[in-house]
Amino acid sequence: MLRIRYELIRFRKDLARYTMSDLRYKHAPSIWSIGQMFDHLILVAEEYLEEADRCLRGEGELGGEKTSFGEKLFERGDFPAIKIELPPEMNQPPNNTDSKDRLRERMTILISKMDTLESRLNDADDNRKTLHGGFGWLNAREWFNLIEMHTRHHRRQQHDLETWLRQKDL
């Protein structure tokens, strides 16, 4: 579980390297900015924490299976090294207006929420699950671990965005 915290703290520290212009720079209209990537990471992690919390509160269903993609994802412990396209109704562009300080504050709040929820995972009923639209039925621990997998997945995107950022003035 420490790895999840480490990844988010590392992203939060990375914010110091960026100017506001860097955070908002878009290489192309269809490509997110670094700021949008941060917003997405935070929003998705908050959503996954809410689902984990629902499981811990006894909401959701007893039982349920993962999809075949969900099974493969958790067996690997990692997202595939590909860009994942969401359906248009789920693919709204993330916010591109937060300041560096606001993003840092949101990351700090997220890490605190994760610490609080993690302390409750020992009491989790692994049969209590809620539905993820792509991965199937997940329990609290799986939702929590999905945060780390999703965050690591975006390291590749961060590298690409930083490469385009360095090349923009060449």
Tell me the pLDDT tens digit for each residue of 59-82: 999 999 999 999 999 999 988 777
Domains of the chain by residue range: 2-167
Give the count of alpha carbons within 13 A of 92, CB side only: 7
Q: What is the pTM of this model?
A: 0.91
Query: Which of 44, 141, 131 minimizes the C-alpha distance to 94?
Result: 44
Q: Look up the CATH number of domain 2-167.
A: 1.20.120.450
- Would you say residue 138 has pLDDT above 90? yes
Residue 84: φ, ψ to 5°: -100, 120
Query: Which of 19, 135, 147, 17 minimizes the C-alpha distance to 70?
Result: 135
Mean pLDDT of 155-168: 91
User: Token pair for residue 103?
Assistant: 């993003």
